[in-house]
Structure 1
Amino acid sequence: MTGRADRGARAKVVVVTGASGGIGRACARRFAARGDAVALLARGVNGLAAAAAEVRAAGGTALAIPVDVADFDAVDRAATRVEQELGPIDVWVNDAFTSVFAPVTEISAAEFRRVTEVTYLGYVHGTKAALARMLPRDRGAVVQVGSALAYRGIPLQSAYCAAKHAIQGFQDALRCELLHERSGVAATMVQMPAVNTPQFDWVLSRLPRRAQPVPPIYQPEVAARAVVYAADHPRRREYWVGGSTVATIAANKVIAGLLDRYLARTGYDSQQTAEPRPAGQAANLWRPADGAEGRDFGAHGRFDRRAHRRSPQAWLSRHARAVALGAAAAGVVWLARRPR
């Protein structure tokens, strides 16, 4: 395994949980493309192997570690292995999750518990493993991959929304503590829109029709660009990706009651296609969805034709200061040139 010193001073050691598919997979590729060493954490060995091959092909160093993030001891052991084989961890990206598509009444208590252990406590476990190593060095960045649903719950996704809300509260508290300590370690959160990932074919579903993201839908590479930028600029409190994320969070602040009624009318149909749900659809709640048949779900879901490859809002969010300075400079020029 190539050590960090062999890859050059600018290369970083990055840990990505949920790296076998979706946003995590796209993030791993983007970090690798700039020469970083990427530790890939997930349960599915088939997806991990394919993700590791992509990281190497992109120019990065890959270390694939099968782990269930619901198990803190396993996550902590994985972090130790990363530092032994790749070097000190510079960036930790929490992305792993699982969920259930169903009304509250059709989700068992055990299923709620499992979603919470993976999707919320998995972030806690990853963050604690990162902090245990970063704080003594007084440097490092933790990036929480969030969602507009961290602010706004929607029907049929109660378990996922609850976990994302919990992550938001955890992140707020953590950030205050790091600021209080004047720590060199920073934590930020990236709130995502609907993304074209395989989750809609591997999350446990009890819906009558196939699940889909609520449009507009973005490609996982849009999310990955935001995550990598956040990892390099983690002092900012959070990043919002996509105009729909901005609209959802803003609307929930001012017309939450009206939004309740709107989602009650539209939230069921907008999250399902016209196709019936396939019998025996894979589900990753209790075990990896890639299974024993060697299946790799990849980063993209089945909505490529409908997914946007760019987000003007996300670009503006990343370049807000430059845009503001440019607008100010243009204003000064205009004032200087206007007739007197």
Structure 2
Amino acid sequence: MASNEHLAGKVVAVTGAAAGVGRAIALRFAREGAKLGLISRDKVALESLAEELRAAGAQDVAIAPIDVSDANEVFAAADRFAGELGPINIWVNDAMVTVFSLVGDITPEEFRRVTEVTYLGVVYGSMAALKQMRTQPSGQIINIGSALAYRGIPLQSAYCGAKHAIRGFTASLRAELEHEHSPIVVSILELPAMNTPQFDWARTHRAHQPKPMGTIYQPEAAAEAVLLAARTGASEYWVGTSTLLTIVGNMIAPKFMDWFLARSAVAGQETNQFVKPCRRDNLMQPVADLHRLHGSFSAEAKPDVSVYPGATTRAAIVAGGAVLFFGLGLVMAQRRQGRPRLSNRGGSPSR
């Protein structure tokens, strides 16, 4: 259990902080009076955000305009934050990039880039946090996952693969720390579709503009879930009923999910608008003027979200399934007992 009930004065590092969910997380911790270490590629965007955070209540802010795919830069940023702000209490791994593309159309270089930022960025961030936290009485690493960590969908193979990898890495790291009886806590939040600039600046090889699939939520809702994880230290949260249904559906009926997504997920991730020839993307370089909190789907996005503890929710599903099958077994047994049985002597049915 984390001991972060009172977050004022805590040092919180956030990767991918300049836009979307990362920006919402930084703002939420600022309102708690935390000290913020911000990581993103765009220095100007980070400087502007730092001023906004100070106005929102942050005690102090440090920035590191780096690329999380460079491990040495991530380690150096962690050292800088610790030197300027004090020992790092919470490290949030949120940075990501993606490419909307069929596997047959994405290039190996693009696939590698998504993996290096979205997955290895989490690995490097966690390593940097561990280096700092091992000498401290406590610490917490919070990894931003996705419902797509449990269920891959068309057009986002690189991103889905990275999110699956983050879930496996997080479980391994948590088991190691528990083996060591370490006070460091590791949490992961599986998010639903979010209204962030991701869909405005992600690279795409499709003819139509990308969009979030399913129920869409504002990034502030995800930030509230991160704050909950920081206060409780829970291992995993499933954020949003759509995430719950995706995970449970894949547990119970994976073949149905294959069928359903094959028929709905391609069109479900595309608008009716064609991609403009001048469209810029942030795969290799940041798009400066799109570093904002919300994306283009605010009219559809919900401000609040239900949050489900992964461990207890999973246990409840397993228990419910066991009760259901036990009940079905009793019914079938009673029916068998009520059926007439043939006599061993070949006579009329006995009862």
TM beyond 0.5: yes
The residue that corresponds to 1:162 in the other structure is: 161
Distance 2:151 2:93 in 1: 20
Q: Check the 8 A contact 2:96/2:118 in 1, yes or no.
A: yes
Q: Check the 8 A contact 1:46/1:296 in 2, yes or no.
A: no
Runs of 4+ in 1 over 3 A off after TM superposition: none
Give the counterpart letter for 1:48 in structure 2.
L
Specify whether residues 296 and 101 from structure 1 end up closer, same or farther in structure 2 by C-alpha distance, changes over 3 A only.
closer
The residue that corresponds to 1:33 in the other structure is: 31
Distance 1:296 1:62 in 2: 22
The residue that corresponds to 1:308 in the other structure is: 302
Correspondence for 1:45 among 29, 43, 46: 43
Correspondence for 1:255 among 253, 256, 265: 253
Superimposed CA distance per residue, residues 114-154 of structure 1 (whole angstroms, 9 cap, x where no aligned partner) = 11111100000000000011012141000000000011000
Q: Check the 8 A contact 2:100/2:203 in 1, yes or no.
A: yes
Superimposed CA distance per residue, residues 151-185 of structure 1 (whole angstroms, 9 cap, x where no aligned partner) = 10000000000000001110010011111111110
Q: Check the 8 A contact 2:7/2:33 in 1, yes or no.
A: no
The residue that corresponds to 2:277 in the other structure is: 279
Give the counterpart letter for 2:92 in structure 1.
V
The residue that corresponds to 1:328 in the other structure is: none
3-state SS of paired residue (2:134)? helix
The residue that corresponds to 2:178 in the other structure is: 179
Distance 2:46 2:214 in 1: 29
Q: Check the 8 A contact 1:138/1:183 in 2, yes or no.
A: no
Give the counterpart letter for 2:119 in structure 1.
Y
Give the counterpart letter for 1:26 in structure 2.
A
Distance 1:53 1:278 in 2: 34
3-state SS of paired residue (1:152)? coil
The CA deviation at 1:57 is: 1.3
TM-score normalised per structure 2: 0.85
The CA deviation at 1:297 is: 2.6
TM-score normalised per structure 1: 0.87
The CA deviation at 1:260 is: 0.7
Distance 2:135 2:44 in 1: 35
Give the counterpart letter for 1:20 in structure 2.
A
Give the counterpart letter for 2:190 in structure 1.
Q
Give the counterpart letter for 2:75 in structure 1.
D
Distance 2:125 2:155 in 1: 27
The residue that corresponds to 2:72 in the other structure is: 73
2:87 is the counterpart of 1:88? yes
Specify whether residues 9 and 281 from structure 1 end up closer, same or farther in structure 2 by C-alpha distance, changes over 3 A only.
closer
Specify whether residues 74 and 102 from structure 1 end up closer, same or farther in structure 2 by C-alpha distance, changes over 3 A only.
same
The CA deviation at 1:299 is: 1.1
Counting matched residue pairs gives 306
3-state SS of paired residue (2:104)? helix
Give the counterpart letter for 2:205 in structure 1.
R
Distance 1:297 1:306 in 2: 20
The residue that corresponds to 1:130 in the other structure is: 129
Superimposed CA distance per residue, residues 184-227 of structure 1 (whole angstroms, 9 cap, x where no aligned partner) = 10101000000000000111111111100012100000000001
Structure 2 residues not aligned, in runs of 5+: 1-5, 314-351
Structure 1 residues not aligned, in runs of 5+: 1-7, 322-340
The CA deviation at 1:9 is: 8.7
Distance 1:80 1:67 in 2: 13
**What does 1:312-323 correspond to in 2, within 5 Å?**
313-314=306-307, 317=309
Larger Rg belongs to? 2
